[in-house]
Each structure stands twice: as structure tokens, then as C-alpha cells.
């Protein structure tokens, strides 16, 4: 594990273009190895926040309601492919997850378009 030095934090985030059932996600969760390599599990902040608040994780790639795809015939179901992963060391104090939400969901005037084909996702963490 070359993640970080003691007392520091790592945040792995971005567009992975991979769903939680994918090998990449499962690898980062410590649920499978890739090419014989294992990793210390990362914390999926969106999944954690959804569990605590008893809600579903929000789709970041949504061909159904994202206005960008309005004139593109698609049958894909909305999915979460953009992640916020927190890396922590054993016995390290954890931050409080204040919020995990999407942004860029509402169309902007005057174009009535959203900024991207994916919705953005952000978190607000509180460290002691």
C-alpha cells in the first residue's frame, strides 16, 4: 500500500466509467484482486452517506433525465459511475461525512443545457 503517510488523508475521486459491480470498484472495496494484487479497501463516501441517510445513491450518468441526452435514443438505466473514495489507515480518526450530493443537474439558462453528460458529485467532510 503506497497510499499515504500516517496522519494524512487520501481522496480518490472522479469519473471511473465503471459501476459498483465492476472489477475496478470491487478491487477498490477490497472485494477482489486484479492480476493477483489486492488493496486496502477505500470508503465509498456516496454509499456510506446513502446508507446513513437511508436513501439510494444518486446516479451520475443518467440517460433518462439528463437534458443532454434528450434527443439521443437510449435504453440505458441511470447508473453511478463517478465516485468519491476516502482512504484511511487503521486506527486513524475518521472525518464526519456532512453531505454527498450531485451538482450540475439543473439546466442553465439561456442554453437550457447541463454542464456535462455526467452529473458532478461532491462531499463536505468535517475533520477534527
Contact 10, 78 (CB under 8 A): no
Note the pLDDT of residue 100. 97
One pLDDT digit (tens) per residue for the chain, 128 residues? 455 566 677 899 999 999 999 999 999 999 999 899 998 899 999 999 999 999 999 999 999 989 888 888 888 899 999 999 998 776 677 889 999 999 999 988 888 888 899 999 999 999 87
109 forms beta bridges with none
The model's pTM? 0.85
Neighbours of 12 (CB within 10 A): 14
Note the pLDDT of residue 108. 85
Note the pLDDT of residue 121. 96
Note the pLDDT of residue 127. 83
Residues in Cβ contact with 67 at an 8 Å cutoff, skipping those fewer than 6 apart? 107, 112, 113, 114
Give CA–CA dist 115/15, Å, rounded.
14
Helix or strand holding residue 98 (H, E): strand 96-103
Residues in Cβ contact with 71 at an 8 Å cutoff, skipping those fewer than 6 apart? none
Give CA–CA dist 23/81, Å, rounded.
13
Amino acid at each position: 500500500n503506497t497510499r499515504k503517510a500516517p496522519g494524512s488523508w487520501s481522496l480518490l475521486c472522479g469519473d471511473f466509467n465503471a459501476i459498483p459491480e465492476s472489477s475496478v470498484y470491487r478491487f477498490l472495496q477490497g472485494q477482489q484482486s486484479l492480476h493477483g494484487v489486492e488493496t486496502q479497501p477505500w470508503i465509498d463516501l456516496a454509499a456510506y452517506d446513502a446508507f446513513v441517510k437511508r436513501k439510494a445513491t444518486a446516479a451520475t450518468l443518467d440517460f433518462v433525465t439528463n437534458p443532454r441526452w434528450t434527443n439521443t435514443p437510449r435504453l440505458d438505466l441511470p447508473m453511478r459511475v463517478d465516485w468519491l473514495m476516502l482512504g484511511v489507515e487503521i486506527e486513524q480518526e475518521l472525518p464526519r461525512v456532512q453531505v454527498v450530493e450531485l451538482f450540475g443537474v439543473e439546466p442553465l439558462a439561456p442554453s437550457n443545457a447541463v454542464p456535462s453528460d455526467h452529473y458532478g458529485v461532491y462531499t463536505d467532510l468535517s475533520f477534527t
